[in-house]
Amino acid sequence: MDLLFLIGMVYAISRTIRGIMGGSRKGANGRRRSGQKSTANATQGRTARDPVCGMFVSTEVSHRLVENGQVVHFCSKNCMESYEKQKARA
Ligand SMILES: [Zn+2]
79 CA distance to ligand 1 centroid (A)? 5
Give the amino acid at 5. F
Q: How confident is the model at residue 24 (pLDDT cuts 50, 70, 90)?
A: low
Rg (CA), the chain: 13
pLDDT, tens digit, 9 for 90 and up, residues 31-78: 555 554 555 444 455 899 999 999 999 999 999 999 999 999 999 999
Residues 2-16: pLDDT tens digits? Answer: 888 989 999 998 998
CA of 39 to the centre of ligand 1 (A): 16
Alpha helices in the chain (DSSP H): 2-21, 77-89
Q: What is the 88 CA–ligand 1 centroid distance (Å)?
A: 18
Cα(65) to ligand 1 centroid in Å equals 13
